[in-house]
Amino acid sequence: MTPSIGRRHLVTGAAALGGLAVGAGAHELATRSGAAESNQAIDFHGPRQAGVQTPPQLYASLVGLDLHAVTRDALTRLMRLLSDDAARLTQGAPALADTEPEMALAPGRLTVTFGFGPRVARLLGLDLPEMPAFKTDALQDRWRGTDLLLQIGCDDPTTLSHAQRVLLKDADPLARLVWVQRGFRDAAGASGLSMRNLMGQVDGTVNPRTPEEFDALVWSGNTTQVVVRRIEIRFDTWDRVDRRGREFTIGRTLSTGAPLTGKDEFDTPDFAATDAAGFPVIDPASHMRRARGDAKGAQFLRRGFNYDDPGDGAGLLFVAFAQDLRRQFVPSQQRIAELDLLNRWVSTIGSAHYLVPSGARPNDWVGHDELD
Amino acid sequence: MTPSIGRRHLVTGAAALGGLAVGAGAHELATRSGAAESNQAIDFHGPRQAGVQTPPQLYASLVGLDLHAVTRDALTRLMRLLSDDAARLTQGAPALADTEPEMALAPGRLTVTFGFGPRVARLLGLDLPEMPAFKTDALQDRWRGTDLLLQIGCDDPTTLSHAQRVLLKDADPLARLVWVQRGFRDAAGASGLSMRNLMGQVDGTVNPRTPEEFDALVWSGNTTQVVVRRIEIRFDTWDRVDRRGREFTIGRTLSTGAPLTGKDEFDTPDFAATDAAGFPVIDPASHMRRARGDAKGAQFLRRGFNYDDPGDGAGLLFVAFAQDLRRQFVPSQQRIAELDLLNRWVSTIGSAHYLVPSGARPNDWVGHDELD
Amino acid sequence: MRLRAIVAACAATFMVAGCGTSTPTKTEPAAGTTHLTVVDPWVKAAAKSEMTGAFATLKNESSKAVHIVSASSDIAMMTELHEVVTGADGAMVMQPKENGFTVEPNGSLVLEPGSFHIMFMQLHQDLRPGDQVKITLTFEDTSTQEVTALVKPFTGADEKYNKKKKKKKM
Amino acid sequence: MRLRAIVAACAATFMVAGCGTSTPTKTEPAAGTTHLTVVDPWVKAAAKSEMTGAFATLKNESSKAVHIVSASSDIAMMTELHEVVTGADGAMVMQPKENGFTVEPNGSLVLEPGSFHIMFMQLHQDLRPGDQVKITLTFEDTSTQEVTALVKPFTGADEKYNKKKKKKKM
């Protein structure tokens, strides 16, 4: 080793310990060429948060955080920091003091959506219903409810990873990371149908799609509510169910997602239809029949992702947005918990729910309306 | 509960236990419309396996398997099964007896590359060098070498998940799953530069690129060798190193990936260049200087992926293909283990290496040449 | 009648769930006459003395019908061509197809679980995953065609491999 | 001389690594005259009695040069405009910029770690992550402009949160 190397090592070591001094201006950032056309930026600012009505991205990281102190002061400071990060990163710009600014330049439809858990809702006097216990749930504490939810969605996994790191670094002084749940969907454009979950089912058929439907079912003014449930699939036994058994269980044809009484995914199921022997074509205990609310206004937005964690199971990150979870989600889940053929092969092992506050105006932060 | 529901439950239960009988023909599969243009199929059959010279996909699952019995009979049967699956899935077709055939229809440049570990190489009398111990390694048994490697790469995470499940189901009677290591890269087309790893470095600059370079450095006839190393990054301290410190450590400019003596990523570094004070511009202990082999034929193919596993660290899945790991990879790694400024922030926690057998002819299976 | 049909099918325990028969590979006959193109042949793994079935898509690319009158294999004491029909009581019943299988001119016949298939009874040996099974099809004119089918396992993927699970060697 | 420069910069312990100053948001002044557009202002978190710095990009969109002669803030005993220069011995040295900062007509000045910055010494209070700091810039003609800067933490991400780690509240 030459003396010069030895001295330089000391220097680099000092940098590591002391926080060295030289930053890079924007002018040093390489311009990314050949960016994919799909590499769009989604607006961050607006009366409603992005990531709800936004068509789902290829990947999502759901991040659950607990505040070190559940106070208005801590929450304000945290939301200022995270909103500032999100406002920049979603537009393909580095965060303030970003240590890897080049990794922010491909936004890939990045959205960051914030949710407030029950303790925060109580702190702010916001209405967030209690979530009743469902008898089929097998909840694990590691996927429990938290004070804050960050739903980070992106089409580019590298951008997503970087955004998550930036947000967690800024959250670190004020909140503790409880879990990260990572999910994925079909590649954009790969299917003309709704998302296919890992059981092979088409998922999300009765979702609101028009702005009017979103207004009627999802938004309450500029806020909404979200429930995140981790639904594990028991593939070892599900794999032994043949297609007819699967379709019978779901109430839909697997290939097209059509109700067993229809031809197209979006056909209205005919629950009264019977076969030659007089049995209903769509079984009254089928998943579709049990999950579906008949009442007007009982539908909600399913915007979930598949998960498949090496060594830790696979299933569905069920993410549902509703005006009022109590009115829309809870009755559906109660029907399912009472009776649903699908229950034999799935278990909900995590559950958390949040109020999604209104969006941030330019130069403002998410939650400001609710904190004032 | 009506009697009819009760009876039907029994039926569905029987299906779950007994393996029910009705399958779906290809005619039932929904045609996927609007598939992305990038949703291409990569040839599976050919003298050399795909997934080496193939431009890296967005995602990869590296799967390590141990044979229950290290015998020619078991290996033959396993490779027949897995080759048959891979031949179909890579072309966007379901595997034989695929339980979710619709999830196979978007190939997304899927490749499945097989590697044979040391015990298999000994069984078959194939030359696979021993891997020496490197003094900086901090290997964990859970990421150890295995009998078989499946490198599954895909641009569509749902297709990847399905392919992995099919392959693991078919491997299950013959081999034990030891690990899955999942990684990702930049979205295709997001950058004109080589992959950026999570430290912000441009990675893979000196890779072979032309067919001639691949022939000279990677392929040995139709086979190659691969080493898979799991390199964990200590971000808590790396985050405190500023850009100048990082560039000094790496020997390259972060924004462009250019050597500190050049302007462009692919400029040849000038290790003799000195600054005004007489110090080398590129430090002799920098990562680039230490990793780089000067001898002709000392380069190899780095085709790695980033990893970022919730709760289990983040870093680089270093995947390197070489004609002869002993001649090409080992000297580079030994120089790094001796001295490399970067060692302060990275640790190799897993290491495995394999012989990559020749490809399969149509209607044949990977490894047939080596088993004969 | 679906309910009864499902119950009846359950009795056929050798059959497996689902199967995609979309088809990138063709197996050309290794011996005999080429009457048919046999696509995606496979057999479900089973133990000695048990029964199992063979599945494939049979394509007739000629302008006249092809009649398979029987099938045979070294692996089993008995090999039969089976069909599944709706019986007098409305239940579906598996039974030998008396006149064998007919593949129409420029048509194809899908052998699949729950429908037409080749059934092997009283296996002489274990059919292990990854084995290959030779099946001889015999046609009306006594000519034969040999098909090689892959033996497929049917087990669930081990989604939680870090947790202990009993493993059987096969 | 880079070696010495780095060593010298190390002494400035308030400075943080890297910073992208590409810029989607602008902070308009809350009070005073608008001489400059101040983009991406931020201050590094620090504890009471310590020192820290403020960074931003100052854009002069007018056709004449703008001179900042001083800066002040309630948060610190002393606020100085600093520059980093190469001293006689080749080392880089931080020092008060005697004539203040000049932003050229239609030009901009980047305040960043290792270069020009506003330095606060002997903080009256903790600057906690997410706090906002008001800074008053005073110009040659004695007019002022107020800037609000976000206090940013600088900690590593907790990549292995399932393992126990000590946490400090801030």
What pLDDT, in 10s, does the model give residues A212-224? 999 999 999 999 9
C2 vs A238, A246, A275: nearest CB: A275
Question: Cβ separation of C17 and A241 shorter than 8 Å?
Answer: yes
pLDDT of residue A125 exceeding 50, the answer is yes
Nearest residue in B to D154, CA atom: B240
Q: From CA B86, how far away is CA A126, in angstroms rounded?
A: 53
pLDDT of residue B13 exceeding 80, the answer is no
Residue A199 has what pLDDT? 87
In this structure, what are the phi and psi dihedrals at residue A182, rounded to the nearest 5 degrees?
-110, 135
- pLDDT tens for residues B290-328? 888 777 888 999 999 999 998 889 999 999 999 999 999
Nearest residue in C to A275, CA atom: C1
Ramachandran area for residue B348 (φ above 0: left; ψ -120 to 50: alpha; else beta): beta
Distance from CA of D146 to the nearest CA of A (A): 16
Q: How many CB pairs under 8 A join A and C?
A: 51
Confidence band for D155, pLDDT divided at 50, 70 and 90 = low
| pLDDT average, residue stretch B258-272 | 91
Q: Please give the structure tokens belonging to residue B72.
A: 């020619």
Among C16, C86, C160, which would you mutate to test the A interface (most chain A Cβ atoms within 10 Å of its Cβ)? C160
Distance from CA of C64 to the nearest CA of A (A): 33
Question: Cβ separation of C17 and A235 shorter than 8 Å?
Answer: no
The per-residue pLDDT of chain A, averaged, comes to 86
Confidence band for A3, pLDDT divided at 50, 70 and 90 = very low
Residue B200 CB partners (closer than 8 Å, separation 6+):
A99, A100, A102, A103, B246, B254
Question: Cβ separation of C24 and B91 shorter than 8 Å?
Answer: yes
- pLDDT tens for residues A151-186? 999 999 999 999 999 999 999 999 999 999 999 998
pLDDT of residue A349 exceeding 60, the answer is yes
> What global pTM score does this model have?
0.85
pLDDT of residue A35 exceeding 60, the answer is no
Q: Where is mean pLDDT largest: A237-251, B1-15, D106-120?
A: D106-120
| pLDDT average, residue stretch A198-205 | 85
Q: What is the CA radius of gyration of chain C?
A: 17
Q: How many CB pairs under 8 A join B and C?
A: 153
pLDDT of residue A236 exceeding 90, the answer is no
Task: Decide which of C42 and B372 is more confident.
Answer: C42
Nearest to C113 by CA among B96, B7, B104: B96
pLDDT of residue D24 exceeding 60, the answer is no
pLDDT of residue D40 exceeding 80, the answer is yes
3-class DSSP state of A116: strand
| pLDDT average, residue stretch D129-143 | 95
Block residue for tokens 């400071």: A77
Helices A243-250 and C2-11 sit at what angle, rounded to 10 degrees? 140
Contact A152, A61 (CB under 8 A): yes
3-class DSSP state of C91: coil
Question: Cβ separation of B190 and A35 shorter than 8 Å?
Answer: yes
Distance from CA of A215 to the nearest CA of B (A): 29
Nearest to A205 by CA among A293, A289, A267: A267
Task: Decide which of C17 and B349 is more confident.
Answer: B349
- pLDDT tens for residues A42-72? 999 999 999 999 999 999 999 999 999 999 9
Q: From CA D112, how far away is CA B256, in angstroms rounded?
A: 21
Please compute, for residue A354, the number of CA atoms within 13 A of its CA located in the half-sphere on the CB side.
Answer: 28
3-class DSSP state of A341: helix
Q: How many CB pairs under 8 A join A and D?
A: 151
Nearest residue in B to C155, CA atom: B169
The per-residue pLDDT of chain B, averaged, comes to 86
Name the least confident of A76-85, A242-251, A254-263, D102-111. A242-251
- pLDDT tens for residues B211-263? 999 999 999 999 999 999 999 999 888 888 878 888 889 999 988 889 999 99
Residue C90 has what pLDDT? 61
Residue C159 has what pLDDT? 40
- Residues in chain A within 8 Å Cβ distance of D15: 19-21
Residue B134 has what pLDDT? 96
Q: From CA D3, how far away is CA B280, in angstroms rounded?
A: 11
Residue C91 has what pLDDT? 66
Distance from CA of C162 to the nearest CA of A (A): 5
Task: Decide which of A130 and D155 is more confident.
Answer: A130
CA distances from B180 to A161, B11, B100, B229 (A): 19, 36, 21, 13
Residue D90 has what pLDDT? 61
A106 vs B165, B179, B186: nearest CB: B186
Residue C15 has what pLDDT? 32
Question: Cβ separation of B81 and C150 shorter than 8 Å?
Answer: yes
Confidence band for A243, pLDDT divided at 50, 70 and 90 = confident
Cβ atoms < 10 Å from Cβ of B111 = 25
Task: Decide which of B16 and D132 is more confident.
Answer: D132
Residues of chain C short of pLDDT 70, as ranges, are: 1-33, 86-92, 154-170
Among C115, C159, C161, which would you mutate to test the A interface (most chain A Cβ atoms within 10 Å of its Cβ)? C159
Residue A30 has what pLDDT? 30
pLDDT of residue D112 exceeding 70, the answer is yes
- Residues in chain A within 8 Å Cβ distance of B99: 200, 239
B255 vs A24, A279, A341: nearest CB: A24
- pLDDT tens for residues B275-293? 887 888 999 999 988 888 7
Confidence band for D132, pLDDT divided at 50, 70 and 90 = very high
* Cβ-based interface (< 8 Å): residues of D facing B: 1-4, 6, 15-18, 90, 113-114, 154-162
Q: Which helix (H) or strand (E) holds C59?
A: strand C52-59
pLDDT of residue D92 exceeding 80, the answer is no
Say if strands C52-59 and A346-356 run parallel, antiparallel, or are unpaired: unpaired
**Helix count and strand count (H, E) for chain A:** 10, 9
Asked whether at least 3 C-beta pairs link D and C within 8 Å, the reply is no
Q: Which amino acid is at B152?
A: I
Residue D88 has what pLDDT? 65
3-class DSSP state of A335: helix
Q: Where is mean pLDDT largest: A250-264, B291-305, C122-136, D91-105?
A: C122-136
pLDDT of residue A350 exceeding 80, the answer is yes
Residue D34 has what pLDDT? 73
Question: Cβ separation of C152 and B170 shorter than 8 Å?
Answer: yes
Q: Which chains touch B (3 or more CB pairs under 8 A)?
A: A, C, D
Among A5, A22, A148, which would you mutate to test the D interface (most chain D Cβ atoms within 10 Å of its Cβ)? A22
Question: Cβ separation of A169 and D153 shorter than 8 Å?
Answer: yes
Cβ atoms < 10 Å from Cβ of B303 = 26
Residue C155 has what pLDDT? 52
Question: Cβ separation of B243 and A24 shorter than 8 Å?
Answer: yes
Question: Cβ separation of A191 and B33 shorter than 8 Å?
Answer: yes
**A135 burial level (CB within 10 Å; 0-12, 13-18, 19+):** exposed
Contact A59, A155 (CB under 8 A): yes
Q: Where is mean pLDDT largest: A275-284, B1-10, C70-79?
A: C70-79
Question: Cβ separation of A242 and B22 shorter than 8 Å?
Answer: yes
Residue D98 has what pLDDT? 84
Give the bridge partners for C111, in sequence order: C56
